[in-house]
Structure formats: C-alpha cells, structure tokens
C-alpha cells in the first residue's frame, strides 16, 4: 500500500472526532482491507501514545553534584520590576536564583527571585507549572509565592518568600536536638508534605537543601521546581516537555527506574532526610540495588541505630534501636507498596512513637501473608480474614498497583489516593489499635466510593468493580454482585475507557462462572474480549483474562475439547508477556491440565500440572494458595486416573498449605479437606471418610448459605459414604438433602448438578429393595444427563450401567442387555481401556449375559473386565468387587468351581468391609461361595455359611434377597 495514502488518511482521521472515524475510514478503504488495518493500527497507537516520548531523556547529575562550586555567573543581573537584586543565591534547576529586595518607601521585603536561564518552550511550561503549583499551596511550612512577571529581556521570573535559615540537617546539628526534638521538628515537615499531597502535588525533590529551618525553628519547604500535579483536570493540561530530574542521594528507586511517581516517592525522600537527621549520615543510594528485589529495605540498609555517628550525636544508639529504626526503614522500603502510603501515615507513626504507643509499622510477617491472600484474588475463593488495617491497606494498594502498572499514571495515582483514604479511615487509632476485618475495610471503601462522586468516571468504574471482586473473594456475594452490576452499568458512560469496561465485564463473567452460569459467563467474557481488543495494548491483560474465563466456562459446560486450544493460546500469551516463570503461567498450566483431565488425557495433564506446581513454587514459595491449588488439581487428576494412592500426597500437602494460610474452617481449607476425603473413599475407607464429611458439612453450613453448592456437595458425598457402609436409609436422606439444596438454588432438579445426587438416591432406594422408585430416579438422572452431556459421556454411561444392573435384578434381561451393551459401546469408543468405570460396566454386562443365559459370553467379557480392573485399580480396592464377582460367577456357571472359589473369597475380602455383613453385596458373594463349596464337596463350610446367611436374607426387604434364597435352594 502507498505510504503517502496511509499518512494522508491518518492525518485526516486524527482531525475527526473519534466517533466519526470508523465510518469514514470504512468508506475510504472500501476495497483495501490491508490499508484499513494499517490505519487502524496507527490510530490505536496514536491514542495510546499521547504521553509517549513527551518527556525527553534527561541527564542526571551524579556524585559531582554535591560538590557545588560557587556560582560564577557572568550574566549581569537583570531588573525584575520593583525588585532590586542583592546577590545571587545560586543556580537552580531552571536557572539563576537571586536574593532581591523591594523597597516601596513603606517597608522593605526580602525575596528570592527565580529566573529561567534558557527560555525554551519546555522550560517555560515547567516554569508556569511551578507557578501554578505554588499558587495553590498556602501553608506555614511551605515558602510562599509572592509574585511573578516578565523581566526586561522577556524571560519570566517568580518571586518567592525568602527563607532566612539553614538546611534542616545543619539546624539539627547546630542546636544539638535530641531524638524527641528532632522528631517534633520533622513532624512539621511531614505536615507540609501531607498538605501538598492533599493538594495533589508531589514535591519529588525533597532534601535538606530544600527544607530550611528559620531562626525561630520553623521548617519551610522550598523549590517545587520539579513538583508534579497528581491529577490533571482536563485533557488539555500542558504536557511536560522537561526532562525528568532528580537528586540521586534522595531519589526513590522508582524515580531511577521510571516507575510511577506517587506520594510514596516523597515518603521515601522523607525517610532519607529522617535517616540523615537521626544517624548523621545518609543511607546508601536507592539506585544501588535491584528493583525486582522487593525485600524490605532492612536487608540492604543499615538501621539508623547501627549507622549512628556516635561521637558527634546527641542521640543515643539505644533510643533509636527498635521502633525508631523500624519507622525509618519502613519509609525507606524499596518497594513503594511496603512504605508508608502517605506522609501522614509516617507522621502518625512518629507521633505514636513519641507518645510511647505501639507503632503501625510492626508485624511485617503478617502483612506479607495477607498480601498473598488478596493477590490471587480472581481465581481463588477467599473468606473473611481478620487483619490489621495497615496490612490490608498495603494489600489493596499493592493489588491495585499490580493492575495499573500499565495504565495512565494520573488514573493510578487518583486510585491510590482513594485507597490511601480507605487506609486512613481504617487507622488503627480509630479501631483502638485492635484488628479490623477485611469486610469492614471494604465497607469503608464502598462508603467512600459512593460518598464522593467527583472522581473520574474511569476510576469510579474500575474501583467499583475492584471492590465488588474483593467482596466476592471474602464471600459477601450479595454486595459483590450489586457492585459489579453497578460497575458494568457504567460501561454506558463514554468517558470510561474500553479496557476498564472490559475488566468489569470480565469480573462479571468470573463470578458467573463461579455460579456455574456458563452461558452468561461466555457471553460476558466475549464482550470483555471485544472491548479489550478495542482498547489495544492497554487491554492486553484483560483480553487474556477474558479468554481464560471463557475457557473455564467451556470446561464447566463439558466442552473441554473447545477449551483446550483457547487455554493453549492464553498460556502462550502469558509466557510472551511475563516469561516462562510467572503466576499467570502457573495458573494457565493448571487450567489446561484440568481440561485435559476432563478429556482423560492423563499423561499430558500430569506433566502440565507438575510443571505448573514447580512454577508456582518458584514464583511464590511453597506456602502459597497457588501451590495448593495446583497440588489439589494434581491429586484429583491422579484420582480420576485411578492412581488412588499417588493422589494422597499432593492432596495432603494442599490441605496443609490451606490450613496454614486460611485456618481450619475456611471454605478453601474445607474444599481441600473434602478432596482428601475423596482419597479415603476411593481407598474404601468409608467409616473414616464419613466422620470427616460430617465435620466438613457442619463447618460449611456454619459459613453461611451464600454458596450453597458446597453444602450440596457435602450431602452428596455423605450419601456416598452411607451407601457404601450399607446404611441405605441415611444415604437416601442425604441424597434428598442434596437434591433439596439444588432445587432451591436452581428452581428445580432439572439442572446438571442434580444428576449425581439423583443417581445416588436411586442407588439408596435400590439397596432398600424399592426397585420401582429406584428405576424412576435412575431414569430422571439419565434424562438430565442426556440433556447436558454428550452420548459418549463417562458419567452418563456409568449411570446407564447402574440402570442396566437394576433391570437385570428385575429379570428384565433384554432391557438390561440393551442398556449395558449400548453404554459399553459408547464408552469404549470414548476412552482407553484402563478406565475403572469401563471395567465396572463390562462386569455388569457379563452378569447380564450370564443371567440372560449366555455363560460363554459372560466368561469372555468378565475375564477381560477383571484383567483391566486389576491394572486400573490398586490391589484389594473395593471397586474390584464387581469384576471379581462377575468373573467368579461366570467361572462357576461354566463348571469351574475351583477357579471360582478363590475369586469369591477375594471378593469377600474387598467388599467386607466396607459393606457390612448383612449387606446383599456381601450376602450374594456368600451365596455363590456356598454353590462353589458344594461342587468342591466342602460341605461343612457350605452348611455353616448357609445357616449364617439364610436368616439375614429372609430379613431383607429386597426382592433380590428372595432371588438369592431361591438360588440357595437349587444347590
């Protein structure tokens, strides 16, 4: 395509209102999709590049800086209106600073006059900015702006209050201030900085030579020359053409690294000044370290007490040790998130120290733990955790910062202001130093959000969504949904940028997915994806998140096959943007492993899950929810594969991690516990499992019913345990309880979730001999499954197997054979041979063939089923019972009593326990064993067995018991 044409169209397009562009461009590029794409690409870049390259790279002075030589200006001082120059005060960042006086006959005033040395457009803008900033600052501890004007040579100048004093460091030394004296003086400095911050001004160049103390002991902040206004009121704000400037000794790490400049930047500089005041020397430069090392400054910086210049100081090492050290080091944290969030917070801690109260900067270890709690916010289930206000505020800020790292700084800073505000309201003072809950902190945030509507719509929308998502995490689902609903509704506001609309739709999709509303999830994730794409690079992250949620919903719908390629794409994108070792990569590996698990691709699933766990360990350390989640998935997957014993270790470690992270009764821990109980159940240890299940149910109910599916699952598993312990009536009650929960949640028992408890109910009824009701329940379960699952579904065909078995017990052999043959055929196509469900199905088919009269077919099928079962299941597993018994019966029917006998004894061993002695699943084996023993002429044992089981069979209400009695009579 022609370059000129591209530039021509681009230039015309940028003159248009953005809304008019699309139609016009479509018309211009009607026959050239490539041209259109190129222009659109440029326009997207144009929108993103507003601030790009608007700050020229600056040269920063290094060590040479401190050796300030006397100014040797050869320029004749110009005249500044009514002011008369007395002498030069030195050179500032933009040019000369003069001492001048004004004498209008009445009184004499001494002032400092600042002039621009090279009046370039950039400098002039900066100059104007400083003037505007100073004009809005009126504080007893900030040097005032008095006047401004144009000099004779047309260069502008500023007239400022001349502070007659000395730098704060000199003042402290000259007056030999003790520790409390020093700190009290410093509190005034904090107050001035806090005042500037509240006026949305960051100083960015705080240092002793900019903090003068007058003879009467009043500190004054000078030189807002490189200060910055935090929020711009309109898009037409002057772009900063001046280079970024800084003083290396006092500059925060983020200033060297081009990170976001926030109020925390000034807090860092205050920390350096305080350090210097207390220790008599400066800490090492922050540029010296590596920014990726987020460890506390304590690891790098010597505490002031240890750095103290003892001989010269009036401050004792002992006075500094402990809290004073901790305050300074917290202000000096390399990671802005770990610093005091505001000058006021720093001042508050200093005041606490002076009052002899406990300071807030304590308890770093706990803070770290909590940070981990919220950082994983989207994908994990959180709960109300009692925390220190300081910790949770740091958490919110850090979470926020992680999110906005890529966004416009103004938006980020305004949001941070908001969070700092939340923090301040949650001040430990107001809570009497006690703990507050995450819940109450969020409530404060929500209140603040709704009480102040002056915020930019973009920020309002994003914060509303964020707080909604956090509510979801701590389990307050009603508020979460209402806030996220509001946040999504703000998408209609044209001032909300696309990436934020995308994010809020993503948040909505995410909770819908948790609620198993998969159609809605996919719809809203799709909208999020479209919006994120439209937002260009600002939406990259949100596009990935939207795809991921979409894939999760597909897995939920049973479309794991569709989800896998989507997840592979997400994984590739996350690797591209964050490298091979990152939190998102670990998460993607888990999700992909989970989807492959669904597809029974166990080999690849295991590889990916193990890789994900290793990644998570590397990124987060061992004690982290992400590690626990991965171990959990791995354990479940191994269980599905039939490798029951191998699944125990990862599930146990996951439980241990969650117990440490959340405590024993947190939902996350309970889910983990439930998964481990599944192992016991797979191993046939139902008595132990039942005790655990009942405890889990109690704890889950205590959490509240906002996520009732956990209660339903608990009932369902309890039913399973009761069934396998032969306690059929209790099993029936538990299944009905699970069904009742689902009916309440979903309005009926027609949804997929009800299929499993419905089938459980059928089994419980069958055990009680209530065959008619059981058949109806099986058919109801199958009808639901048929609506939600493909014909070759594992679960669907397993349940057809159960129905087939019931039909056989009712002597409806043709129906039984048809059901079992079809189910077997469907499932053997769907998966490999070493599948426990397939083995059971085959053994059911073998018994049906046998009872229908084909002993040959029965033996053939049963032999294969037992072979497969032995390779798929651990030895002595209770699920071997079906295949063993089928094989034994087939052998016996073919006249091989000697082969049948050991098989029957083995069957008894695997079935009893767990099944009790009077259970028909045990009695049927004994009945067959009697037959074998008679053939083998072991009459004594046969007789004693018969007298043992006959009364039990007669006592059973099941029609099957009668059949077994009839079979005994034949022998």
**Residue 358 carries which DSSP code?**
P
Nearer to other proteins, 10 or 368 (CB): 10
The CA angle 738-744-747, to the nearest 5 degrees, is: 120
Give the residue among 963, 938, 677 at the shortest CA–CA distance from 810. Answer: 963
Q: Which residue of 122, 208, 593, 684 would you call a contact of other proteins, by CB under 8 A? A: 122
Pick the piece of the chain touching other proteins (CB under 8 A) from 114-122, 166-174, 872-880, 953-961: 114-122
Nearer to other proteins, 44 or 362 (CB): 44
Q: Where are the alpha helices (DSSP H) in 665-793?
A: 667-682, 686-703, 709-724, 728-746, 755-767, 771-788
Is the separation of the CB atoms in 180 and 316 below 8 Å?
no
User: Is the bond leading into 225 cis (omega within 30 degrees of zero)?
Assistant: no
Q: Which residue of 351, 456, 540, 601 would you call a contact of other proteins, by CB under 8 A? A: 540
Query: Residue 84: beta bridge partners?
Result: 101
Query: What CA–CA distance (Å, rounded) separates 866 from 883?
Result: 5
Nearer to other proteins, 227 or 807 (CB): 227
Neighbours of 954 (CB within 10 A): 10
Q: Is 262 in the site for other proteins (CB under 8 A)?
A: no
Nearer to other proteins, 223 or 805 (CB): 223
Pick the piece of the chain touching other proteins (CB under 8 A) from 45-53, 499-507, 665-673, 948-956: 45-53
Q: Is 288 in the site for other proteins (CB under 8 A)?
A: no
Give the residue among 224, 219, 223 at the shortest CA–CA distance from 201. Answer: 224
Query: What CA–CA distance (Å, rounded) separates 308 from 310?
Result: 5
- In the complex, the smallest distance separating the C-beta of residue 259 from other proteins, rounded to whole angstroms, is 9
- In the complex, the smallest distance separating the C-beta of residue 287 from other proteins, rounded to whole angstroms, is 8
Nearer to other proteins, 35 or 346 (CB): 35
- In the complex, the smallest distance separating the C-beta of residue 94 from other proteins, rounded to whole angstroms, is 8
Nearer to other proteins, 10 or 477 (CB): 10
Pick the piece of the chain touching other proteins (CB under 8 A) from 120-128, 602-610, 721-729, 793-801: 120-128
Query: What CA–CA distance (Å, rounded) separates 610 from 631?
Result: 8
- In the complex, the smallest distance separating the C-beta of residue 224 from other proteins, rounded to whole angstroms, is 13
Query: What CA–CA distance (Å, rounded) separates 650 from 322?
Result: 42
Q: Is 44 in the site for other proteins (CB under 8 A)?
A: yes
Q: Which residue of 26, 84, 103, 120 would you call a contact of other proteins, by CB under 8 A? A: 120
Query: What CA–CA distance (Å, rounded) separates 764 from 68?
Result: 90
DSSP 795-839: HHHHHHHHHHHHHHHTT-HHHHHHHHHHHHHHHHHHS-S--HHHH
Site string for other proteins, 498-527 (x = CB under 8 A): ------------------------------
- In the complex, the smallest distance separating the C-beta of residue 536 from other proteins, rounded to whole angstroms, is 4
Nearer to other proteins, 9 or 657 (CB): 9
Q: Which residue of 18, 140, 180, 258 would you call a contact of other proteins, by CB under 8 A? A: 258
- In the complex, the smallest distance separating the C-beta of residue 246 from other proteins, rounded to whole angstroms, is 7
b/e for 98-135, b at 16 or more Cβ within 10 A?
Answer: bbbebeeeeeebebbbbbbeebeebbbebbebbbebbe
Q: Is 559 in the site for other proteins (CB under 8 A)?
A: no
In 228-293, DSSP assigns E strands to 228-229
What is the H or E stretch that residue 160 is in? Answer: strand 156-161
Q: Which residue of 160, 192, 230, 246 would you call a contact of other proteins, by CB under 8 A? A: 246
Nearer to other proteins, 44 or 896 (CB): 44
Distance, first Cα to last Cα, the chain: 93
Query: CA of 539: how far to CAs of 269, 404, 457, 533, in Å?
Result: 34, 11, 18, 6
Joined together, the tokens standing for residue 330 give: 């917290």
Pick the piece of the chain touching other proteins (CB under 8 A) from 53-61, 440-448, 599-607, 911-919: 53-61
Site string for other proteins, 54-93 (x = CB under 8 A): xxxxxxxxxxxxxxxx-xx-----------------xxxx
Query: Residue 97: beta bridge partners?
Result: 90, 114
**Cα dihedral 551, 555, 556, 558 in deg (nearest 10):** 140
Q: Is 52 in the site for other proteins (CB under 8 A)?
A: yes
Pick the piece of the chain touching other proteins (CB under 8 A) from 27-35, 46-54, 105-113, 868-876: 46-54
Pick the piece of the chain touching other proteins (CB under 8 A) from 112-120, 480-488, 653-661, 945-953: 112-120
- In the complex, the smallest distance separating the C-beta of residue 207 from other proteins, rounded to whole angstroms, is 10
Q: Which residue has the tokens 């005033």?
A: 109
Q: At residue 258, what are phi and psi to the nearest 5 degrees? A: 70, 20
C-alpha atoms less than 13 angstroms from C-alpha of 507 in its C-beta half-sphere:
32
Query: What CA–CA distance (Å, rounded) separates 60 from 58?
Result: 6
Nearer to other proteins, 257 or 622 (CB): 257
Q: Which residue of 23, 30, 41, 140 would you call a contact of other proteins, by CB under 8 A? A: 41
The answer for residues whose C-beta is within 8 angstroms of residue 148's C-beta and 6 or more apart is: 131, 156, 157, 158, 159
- In the complex, the smallest distance separating the C-beta of residue 69 from other proteins, rounded to whole angstroms, is 5
Nearer to other proteins, 223 or 512 (CB): 223
- Using a 10 angstrom Cβ sphere, with 0-12 exposed, 13-18 middle and 19 or more buried, the burial of residue 425 is middle
The answer for residues whose C-beta is within 8 angstroms of residue 153's C-beta and 6 or more apart is: 78
**How big is the site for other proteins, counted in residues (CB under 8 A)?**
63
Nearer to other proteins, 103 or 537 (CB): 537
- In the complex, the smallest distance separating the C-beta of residue 241 from other proteins, rounded to whole angstroms, is 6
Q: Is 893 helix (H, G, I), strand (E, B) or coil?
A: helix
Nearer to other proteins, 49 or 664 (CB): 49
Pick the piece of the chain touching other proteins (CB under 8 A) from 179-187, 246-254, 595-603, 789-797: 246-254
- In the complex, the smallest distance separating the C-beta of residue 219 from other proteins, rounded to whole angstroms, is 19
The answer for residues whose C-beta is within 8 angstroms of residue 539's C-beta and 6 or more apart is: 498, 499, 502, 531, 532, 533
Range 619-638, binding other proteins (CB under 8 A): none
Range 1-30, binding other proteins (CB under 8 A): 3, 7, 10-11, 14
- In the complex, the smallest distance separating the C-beta of residue 137 from other proteins, rounded to whole angstroms, is 20
- In the complex, the smallest distance separating the C-beta of residue 256 from other proteins, rounded to whole angstroms, is 8
Neighbours of 832 (CB within 10 A): 12
Range 179-218, binding other proteins (CB under 8 A): 209
Binding residues (CB under 8 A) for other proteins: these are: 3, 7, 10-11, 14, 41-46, 48-49, 51-69, 71-72, 90-93, 97, 117-118, 120-123, 209, 223, 225-226, 241-248, 256-258, 536-537, 540
């Amino acid at each position: 395509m022609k370059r000129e044409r591209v530039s021509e169209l681009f230039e015309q397009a940028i003159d248009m209102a953005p809304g008019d562009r699309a139609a016009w461009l479509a018309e211009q590029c009607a026959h050239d999709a490539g041209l259109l794409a190129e222009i659109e690409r440029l326009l997207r870049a144009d929108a993103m590049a507003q601030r790009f390259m608007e700050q020229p790279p600056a040269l920063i002075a290094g060590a040479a800086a401190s050796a300030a030589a006397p100014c040797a200006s050869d320029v004749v001082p110009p005249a500044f209106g009514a002011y008369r120059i007395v002498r030069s005060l030195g050179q500032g960042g933009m040019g000369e600073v003069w001492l001048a006086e004004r004498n209008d006959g009445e009184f004499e005033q001494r002032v400092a006059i600042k002039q621009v040395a090279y009046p370039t457009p950039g400098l002039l803008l900066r100059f104007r900015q400083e003037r505007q900033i100073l004009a809005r600052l009126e504080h007893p501890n900030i040097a005032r702006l008095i006047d401004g004007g144009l000099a004779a040579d047309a260069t502008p100048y500023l007239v400022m209050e001349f502070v007659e004093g000395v730098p704060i460091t000199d003042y402290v030394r000259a007056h030999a201030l003790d520790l409390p004296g020093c700190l009290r003086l410093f509190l005034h400095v904090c107050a001035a900085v806090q005042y500037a911050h509240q006026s949305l001004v960051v100083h960015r160049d705080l240092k002793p030579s900019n903090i003068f103390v007058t003879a009467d002991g009043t500190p004054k902040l000078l030189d807002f020359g490189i200060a910055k206004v935090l929020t711009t009121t309109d898009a037409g704000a002057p772009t900063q053409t001046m280079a970024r400037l800084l003083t290396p000794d006092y500059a925060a790490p983020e200033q060297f690294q081009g990170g976001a400049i926030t109020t925390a930047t000034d807090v860092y500089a205050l920390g350096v000044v305080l350090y210097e005041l207390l220790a008599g020397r400066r800490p090492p430069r922050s540029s010296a370290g590596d920014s990726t090392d987020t460890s506390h400054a304590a690891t790098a910086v010597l505490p002031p007490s240890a750095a103290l210049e003892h001989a010269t100081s009036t401050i004792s090492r002992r006075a500094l040790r402990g809290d004073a050290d901790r305050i300074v080091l917290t202000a000096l944290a390399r990671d802005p998130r770990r610093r005091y969030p505001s000058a006021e917070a720093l001042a508050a801690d200093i005041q606490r120290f002076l009052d002899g109260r406990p300071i807030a900067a304590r308890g770093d270890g706990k803070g770290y733990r909590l940070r981990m709690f919220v950082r994983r916010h989207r994908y994990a289930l959180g709960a109300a955790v009692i925390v220190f206000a300081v910790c949770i505020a740091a958490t919110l800020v850090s979470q926020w910062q992680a999110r906005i790292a890529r966004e416009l700084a103004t938006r980020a800073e305004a949001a941070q202001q908001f969070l700092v505000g939340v923090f301040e309201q949650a001040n430990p003072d107001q809570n009497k130093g006690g703990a507050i809950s995450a819940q109450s902190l969020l409530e404060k945030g929500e209140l603040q959000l709704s009480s102040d509507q002056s915020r930019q719509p973009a920020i309002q929308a994003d914060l509303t969504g964020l707080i909604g998502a956090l509510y979801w995490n701590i389990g307050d689902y009603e508020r979460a949904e209402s806030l996220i609903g509001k946040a999504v509704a703000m998408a209609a506001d044209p001032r909300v940028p696309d990436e934020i609309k995308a994010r809020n739709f993503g948040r909505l999709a995410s909770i819908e997915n948790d609620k198993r509303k998969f159609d809605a999830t996919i719809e809203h994730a799709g909208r999020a994806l479209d919006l994120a794409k439209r937002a260009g690079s600002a939406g990259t992250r949100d596009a990935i998140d939207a795809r991921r949620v979409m894939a999760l919903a597909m897995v939920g719908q049973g479309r794991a096959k569709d989800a896998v390629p989507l997840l592979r794409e997400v994984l590739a994108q996350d690797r591209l943007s964050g490298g091979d070792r990152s939190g998102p990569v670990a998460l993607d590996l888990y999700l992909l492993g989970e989807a492959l698990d669904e597809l029974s691709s166990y080999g690849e699933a295991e590889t990916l899950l193990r890789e994900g766990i290793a990644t998570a360990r590397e990124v987060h350390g061992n004690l982290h929810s992400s590690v626990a989640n991965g171990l959990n998935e791995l354990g479940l997957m191994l269980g599905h594969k039939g490798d029951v014993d191998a699944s125990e270790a990862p599930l146990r470690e996951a439980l241990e991690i969650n117990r440490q992270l959340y405590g024993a009764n947190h939902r996350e821990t309970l889910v983990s516990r439930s998964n481990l109980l599944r192992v016991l159940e797979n191993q046939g240890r139902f008595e132990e499992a039942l005790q655990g299940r009942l405890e889990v149910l109690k704890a889950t109910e205590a959490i509240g019913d906002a996520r009732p599916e956990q209660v339903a699952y608990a009932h369902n598993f309890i039913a399973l345990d009761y069934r396998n312990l032969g306690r059929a009536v209790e099993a029936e009650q538990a299944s009905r309880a699970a069904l009742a929960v689902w009916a309440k949640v979903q309005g009926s028992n027609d949804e997929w979730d009800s299929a499993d408890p419905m089938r459980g109910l059928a089994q419980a009824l069958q055990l009680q001999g209530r065959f008619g009701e059981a058949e109806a329940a099986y058919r109801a379960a199958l009808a639901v499954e048929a609506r939600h699952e493909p014909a070759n579904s594992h679960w669907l065909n397993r349940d057809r197997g159960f129905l087939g078995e019931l039909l056989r017990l009712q002597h409806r052999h043709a129906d039984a054979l048809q059901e079992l043959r079809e189910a077997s055929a469907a499932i053997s196509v769907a998966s490999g041979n070493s599948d426990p469900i397939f083995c059971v199905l085959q053994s059911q088919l073998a018994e049906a063939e046998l009872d229908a009269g084909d002993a040959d077919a029965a033996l053939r099928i049963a032999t294969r089923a037992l072979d497969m079962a032995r390779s798929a299941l651990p030895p002595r597993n209770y699920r071997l019972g079906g295949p063993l018994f089928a094989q034994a019966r087939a052998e016996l029917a073919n006249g091989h009593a000697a082969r049948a006998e050991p098989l029957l004894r083995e069957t008894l061993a695997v079935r009893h326990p767990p099944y009790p002695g009077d259970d028909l699943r045990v009695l049927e084996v004994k009945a067959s064993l009697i037959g074998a023993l008679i053939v083998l002429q072991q009459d004594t044992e046969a007789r004693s067995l018969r007298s043992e089981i006959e009364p039990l069979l007669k006592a059973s209400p099941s029609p099957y018991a009668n059949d077994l009695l009839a079979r005994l009579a034949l022998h």
